[in-house]
Structures are given as C-alpha cells and as structure tokens.
Amino acid sequence: MNRTYVCADVHAHLDCFEEALKCLDETDRLFVIGDAVDKGPNRMEVLQKIMDDPRCEMLIGNHDLMMLQYLTVADYIENHDPETIPVDVIYLYNEIAYRWAELNDGLETLTAYRALAEDEQKRILEYLKSCPLKKNVTVNGKEFILVHAAIPAEAEDDLCDAEVLYLDLIQDPEKPYRYDYKTDWVWGRYSVQVSGKYVVTGHTMVQTFRTDHIKRMGDWFDIDCGLAARFDRSSLALFCLDDFSVQYFKPKVL
C-alpha cells in the first residue's frame, strides 16, 4: 500500500520486531530510527533482519554509534603496528570500551558480533557506516524529520534534505577514527520543534512522561516505548506516518 512506518529502540528484541514486520505489505517501508542493538535477547539478529529486509532503512542511534566507534577504533588498533599507534587512539579505545561495553550493555553485543563469520562482521560494520543519523521524508505532503534523539543547536539552521552521516561528525580528517560519538543527534534529551515539520525521535522512553504510549508534544513525536528498560509495560511502537496510527507489540521474552 506504499505506507511509511517508523519504529525506534528495538534494542535486540527480535520477536516483537518480526511481529511488527508482518503488518507491512511488500510495498510499505519502515524506518528504524536507531538503537537496534544492546539490552534485549537477540543481540545481532535485529540488525541483520533490518539489513536483509529491503523495506527497512536504518538510522543510527547512540547504541549503534557506540558500537561503530568501538569497532572502528578496534579495527585501527588491530591493523597498525603497536609502536606506531598514537596515544590518543589508545585513550579513545579505553573510553569507548568503557562507555559502550561497561556502561551501556555492549559487552554481550560485542561477544555476539565477534562470534559471527568475519565476512558477516564486515558486512555489519559497513552497513552501520552507511546509515544516516538524520533523514527527511515527505508523506502525503507532510514533512518529517526522523532522528534518533534530537537536533543539535548548530544544525537547526540547516535542516535541508541532506542526510547526516557519521563521517560528518569527523572533525579532523587526519584522525578519521575519532568522531563525535556523543553528538546530540543520538544522545540529546530535549524538546525538538521545527517550524513546518514534524519530528519523530526515539531514545527517551515514553515512561519518562508517565505513559506507555507514544508521546506527542507539539509537532514532536517520541516513539520509544521502553524496550531498553525491559519493563512489563515496555513495547515496540509501529508508527504510521500516513495517518498517525500506532500499533504496539509486546516482547514475549524481556
């Protein structure tokens, strides 16, 4: 039916993601706006499902960006003579390993990733590198900005149709392994209102606003229904941009 759907923060919950996919026709499309990994029981499978389903397009979330930053730096270290590795790379490695693997539940994800065949690891890494952080879509004449968390203040004047990629976060071309993985695009927690456009984000659990349903505030929709927290009341919201309808899917396995 050529409908456009959005979901967010699947967080490795394959069962409810598959249930949501069943609601799509062949010609529908689904934007998964970040945080496919960490927290839930199926650490790599959700990401692989997104990659393999031509109806799906993925945006980067903070968990995916931490994974990408970790793998990029680990890859650099593996492929360089230890004598020549700059000390800031070692610091960055320690910093991201701590932030992702220790603080944000990345260790189990990393273990699942490393258990995959090398070709598959590479395919996943290249896929993540190709995913945007922000996407503009128009549905029935209505304009939407899709982003995992928020719109950084410095980007507010330039919300043209161009995608934002992790490559745009690199500040020093001499150090492509170092980029702003703490960017507000994926970490910001504040109201995002853009004149004349709707904004759809995940990242901040709607339970923060004392509801279990997607939360509309002005023209901003927060659709993260709390799978990361694995509450009894957590669910995956499938939000249809054509008519603003929502379907909710509860994970069988938290």
Tokens representing residue 205 in the block: 């659990």
Phi/psi region, residue 115 (left: phi>0; alpha: psi -120 to 50; beta: rest), is alpha
Piece of 34-42, 51-59, 190-198, 236-244 that binds Mn ion (CB under 5 A): 34-42
Output the residue with the shortest Cβ distance to Mn ion. 203
User: How many chain residues interact with Mn ion (CB under 5 A)?
Assistant: 4
List the interface residues with Mn ion, window 38-77 (CB under 5 A). Answer: 61-62
Nearest to 82 by CA among 90, 71, 93, 91: 90
In this structure, the number of other CB atoms found within 10 A of the CB of residue 210 comes to 7
Say which residues have a Cβ less than 8 Å from residue 102's Cβ, sequence separation at least 6.
none
Q: Closest separation between CB of residue 206 and Mn ion, Å?
A: 13
Instruction: Tell me the C-alpha distance between 236 and 209, whole Å.
Output: 16
Q: Closest separation between CB of residue 219 and Mn ion, Å?
A: 21
Q: Closest separation between CB of residue 189 and Mn ion, Å?
A: 10
Indicate whether 106 belongs to the interface with Mn ion (CB under 5 A): no
Residue of the chain from 178, 203, 220, 238 that contacts Mn ion (CB under 5 A): 203
**Residue 76 or 128: which CB sits closer to Mn ion?**
128
In this structure, the number of other CB atoms found within 10 A of the CB of residue 150 comes to 22
Q: Closest separation between CB of residue 106 and Mn ion, Å?
A: 13
The residues that touch Mn ion, with contacts defined as CB under 5 A, are 35, 61-62, 203
